[in-house]
Each structure stands twice: as structure tokens, then as C-alpha cells.
Amino acid sequence: MDKLRITGGQKLHGNITISGAKNAALPILCASLLTADDIQLHNVPRLRDIDTACKLLAQLGVTAQVDGENITLNAGQITSLEAPYELVKTMRASILVLGPLLARFGEARVSLPGGCAIGQRPVDQHIKGLRAMGATIELEHGFVVAKAKRLKGASIRTDMVTVTGTENLLMAAALAEGETILENAAQEPEIVDLAELLIKMGARISGHGTERIVIQGVEKLHGATHSIIPDRIETGTFLCAVGATGGELMLHNTAATTMQSTLDKLRKSGIDIECGDNWIRGRMTQRPQAVSFSTAEHPGFPTDMQAQLMALNCMANGTAVIVENIFENRFMHVQELIRLGAKIETEGHTAHVKGVNQLFGARVMATDLRASASLVIAGLAAQGDTIIDRIYHLDRGYDRMENKLAAVGAHIERLRQESL
């Protein structure tokens, strides 16, 4: 298993190009199932999760031509309507093939994802919405088995805000008969990006980016070309890194408009942030100030940035109170940060982080994707060497992070399994 070795204490200076958003690319890849025509995608991040999604689509019969950050998908010759457990278990976003398969082919058999490290994230809202659209759905031997001659438009209000649930129902409704209204819909920028692709494919959608999305179903969708939006979480992660180490980073191919809540908190921590149309500059010349926050659905502070800002708070002046409202088990990075010298106490969904003057390198273990990023940030600021194990989590959602950081002055290297 690969590891990262970081020798901390180096300020960061230079330019980083932000990759396409993982959380936008995954549903968009699945949207290729809605048409027999080519879907040409640009700015696709090179990630383990993208590879997994392409393997799953290939299992269904989708062909993919990959050229760096460009992928052309064609679902003209689908050979299977089943997403097997072996692939779904490695990436929960695999459930996003359910809506497109059911809408276009009238049936789907998708393995239940099961639990995961940061919380259960049930798929009951997906099932509730599809049943409202006329689907017959049974749970058989660990599979969601769905059938419908043609989905019918419906008014659907989910019991909670669910990003993947909104995405699945949005894709299904695009080919349903009549009007579908999604109430309590997720408002994330990645939802908007998916809707914009579907509109290019011929879908009739309005209200995306609000809590009420209206879809007028069409008979058929066609091919399209689309560029994935920049990754706001990767952007926020690098801003936390420069906040922890000091220095200045110029981040290119990013969009400040998609991450205002994150930028607001980072400015309060003391980072000097300037924004342009497709760039953000972050400069840090002082010790960070403690910043309290609570995670919430967009446009609130994203749960995917909680661990990274906690890492920054570990070396801040003062005490921060952090409340995690989205996932029930997303403080597993706390014990690893404590190994680096952080002072953190947790009680239920709340963490109290008292900043220390200095963190110290140690051997730590990544427990999930964003926890991995928090350990990288802490390691960059710590005195001495930090070894991070199980970084396959990091590779799921960050495109060559160690290369990008090394290019701006970090002392960071990947220790390949064969050399360990």
C-alpha cells in the first residue's frame, strides 16, 4: 500500500491548476446511459473513483475513449442492466446508474452500496422518488431491482436533502412522461453542472440550483459536449494548506462563485483571499485564527471541507467549535490529528479544537478521502517527518495531490508499495 512522506515546515509559493470536480464528474459519467449518442467530456479529473465509474459503465456495455482529461462515452450497445456488488462496494456513487438505466431501458438491477466509513447514507430516498414515478422496486438478495414500462412525472419531496438522490431522480425524470417536480432538492454546484449537461442533451429543466427543480420529460436525449466544473473542495483544500504553512498560492481553473461559504470561513482564519473569474489567490502571513463552524447542505459550509478546516484550526490562535451535521461518523481523523500533537475533544457531533503552537510529525493512517487531506495539511505544517498510510483514500478524490504540492515547495513524496 502506497504511503506519503511529508517533511513539514515549508511555506508554499507558486501556481496550481485545479482539476475537474469529482462530485460533478461521477453523475455526469452515469448520464451517458441516457442516450445512444456520444457524450464528450472535458476537464475530467484523473482519479481512482473515475476509473471505478468507467469500469462499472464498461460492465454495462458503455465504451469509453480516454485521452488524459477528455473522455468520450457511448452507451449505444448496452449489454447488461446489472451493477454488481464487486464494483458498487468500492464507490457508493455507483447507485447513480439506477435512474438512467430504469428511465431508458425500463429496468435495472443495482447492488445496494452498504455502509461506509463516514456514515450509512441510505438510498431509501432514491427508491421513494422512483416509486412515485411509477416504478416497481423490490430488494432482492442485496440488489435494488427496479422495473417500469415508462416512468411517469410526479411531484416528489424527499424527506431530507440528498445530493445523489436529487441526481438520480433528475436523470430519471429527464426521460419520464410528463412533468416532474423535485422539492427539497439539493442545491450543490455539482447538481447544476449535471442539469446543464442534460439540457445540452435535450432535457427540459428549470430551477436547478434551487430547492425546487421542474423537469418536463422528453422522449429521447441526444449526444453533447460538456466541460466538468472545477473542484471547489480541492480548491478549499489547497487554501487550507497555504493557511497552515504560510506563503502564497495562485489557484487556476477554479470558481469562487461555487464556494462562498468556504471562502468566508478561510478569510476569518486570516488568509488573504483575492478572486477573479477563474482564479483565486491565497496569501498567509500570520498564525491562523480559530474559526468555528457547522456543516450544512449547500449553500452552507460543506461537510467535505470539515476535516481540512479542522486541521487548520489545530494550529490556530484560540479555540474552535466544530459541529458536523451531515454524517454521523465523520470525526475519525481526530485521533490521527491528535497523534501529530493536536488538542481536540469530541462529544457526539461536536469537536472542540484548541490550537497549539506547533504540530510534530508522526505515523498516521487515513480513514477516508477528506480525512486524508486533513492529515496532508497537518503534515505540511508539522515539525519533522509525517508518514501517511492508506493513501488510496486520497487517490479517490485528489488528482496527483503530491505532485501539485511538490511543485509549490512542499517536501512531499509518494512511497510506492514495491519500495517499502
C-alpha cell, 40: 464528450
CB 125, CB 143: distance < 8 Å: no
Q: How far apart are CA 143 and CA 400, in angstroms?
A: 34
Catalytic residue among 30, 54, 116, 314: 116
Nearest to 189 by CA among 74, 304, 38, 288: 304
Helix or strand (DSSP H, E) at 54: helix 48-60
Report the distance separating Cα 193 and Cα 204, nearest Å: 14
Helices (H) and strands (E) in the chain, counts: 14, 24
Q: What is the dihedral of CA 251, 253, 258, 260, to 10 degrees?
A: 20
**Could you give the 3-state DSSP secondary structure of residue 298?**
coil
Residue 346 main-chain phi, psi, to 5 deg? -120, 150
CA distance 88 to 97: 10
Report which residue type is found at 364.
Answer: V
Q: Could you tell me if 282 and 271 are in contact, meaning their C-beta atoms sit under 8 angstroms apart?
A: yes
DSSP-based three-state secondary structure for 83: strand
**314 counts as catalytic:** no
End-to-end CA distance of the chain: 9
- 3-class DSSP state of 44: coil
Instruction: Indicate the pairing of strand 155-157 with strand 143-147.
Output: unpaired
The separation between CA 367 and the C-alpha centre of its own chain, rounded to angstroms, equals 16
Q: Alpha-carbon distance 363 to 175, whole Å?
A: 51
Question: 102-119: string of b/e by CB count within 10 Å (b at 16+)?
Answer: bbbeeebbbbbbeeeebe
For the annotated catalytic residues, the residue numbers are 116
